[in-house]
Structure 1
Amino acid sequence: MSNLPVAVDLYSLAIDAASPGPQWGLETDDLNATLLVWPAGEGVAEHVNDEVDVLIVGVEGEGAVTVDGRRVPLGAGQTILVPKGSLRSVTATTPRFGHLNVHRRRRKLAVGTIPNRQANGNEQFHP
């Protein structure tokens, strides 16, 4: 059995999203990665996360990431690091905005998802 990595087409998952929120995720012993997709005007509500720094990577469309009151536009292929302890939010500014959140492992963003343990020990989940 092989532990080779598998490439995931995040763009296709983002454009095929039938509902907002988490579309795909990967959890290892060290990292969490979650693809989230939002329609215009929706996103992640303003909150403070004291647990982890979060790297946000634009996958499809455009959005705005607001960190401690500073609004930063984010498009496909762009990234921003959001430090832990900062006040943050994400809002879609185009009809659809998909972004990948990557951070040190912690609890999942979606309640009710069932992880699928892979042969290499990693977990993938789908809503």
Structure 2
Amino acid sequence: MPILTNTAEQPDEPRRGPVWSIAEPERELDSNLIRLPAGDSIPAHVGAEVDTLIHVVRGDGTLLTDDGEAPLRPGDVALLPRRTVRGFRAGAAGLEYLTVHRRRQALRIQSRPGAV
């Protein structure tokens, strides 16, 4: 069983967004380690066509959904069903969380049936 990364050993940079992602091309799952600096946020939006599991690795913050706001702290795990509203707001310590979801197929340009 190959170790892909260690979330506790990621460089501690004030960088926003994905700091790690699965790179293996032949996989059925996607996973990303997302970092938001203190006070930063990802506005509430409708999620993609896949269920997403999140695991808070470090820091703290708030999960924003149609049901309201829920505090996030290290160790918390949440399931965000496909096509539901979600957003994130980092607390004073910033927020870092791991996402896991079924891999979405890349968009491909195809010919129409019967086209030459």
User: Which TM-score applies when normalising by structure 2?
Assistant: 0.78
Q: CA deviation at 1:78?
A: 1.0
Query: Please, which runs of 5 or more residues in structure 1 have no aligned partner?
Result: 109-127
Which ranges in structure 2 are unaligned for 5 or more consecutive residues?
107-116
Count of residues in Structure 1 that have an aligned counterpart in Structure 2? 104
The residue correspondences of 1:31-70 to structure 2 (distance < 5 A) are 31-70=29-68
Partner of 1:114: none
Alignment of 1:8-47 (within 5 A): 8-13=5-10, 16-27=12-23, 29-47=27-45
Give 1:1-127 correspondences, 5 Å limit.
4-6=1-3, 8-13=5-10, 16-27=12-23, 29-106=27-104
Aligned residues: CA RMSD: 2.0
State the shift of 1:65 in Å.
0.8
| 1:17 Cα offset (Å) | 2.6
3-state SS of 2:92 partner: coil
SS of residue matched to 2:22: strand
Bigger-Rg structure (1/2)? 2
Q: Which runs of 4+ in 1 moved over 4 A?
A: none
| Shift in alpha-carbon separation, 1:59–1:83, aligned structure 2, 3 A | same
- Could you list the per-position Cα deviations for residues 74-123 of structure 1 after superposition, in whole angstroms to 9, with x for gaps in the alignment? 11111111111211101101232100011111269xxxxxxxxxxxxxxx
Deviations 1:25-47 (A, max 9, x none): 11552110000111122132211
> Counterparts of 1:107 and 1:96 in 2: how far apart (Å)?
31
Deviation at 1:69, TM superposition (A): 4.0
Corresponding residue SS for 2:72: strand
Q: TM-score, normalised by structure 1?
A: 0.72
Whole-Å Cα distance in 2 between the matches of residues 44 and 11 of structure 1?
Answer: 23
Identity %: 33
Structure 2 CA distance, aligned partners of 1:41 and 1:99? 15
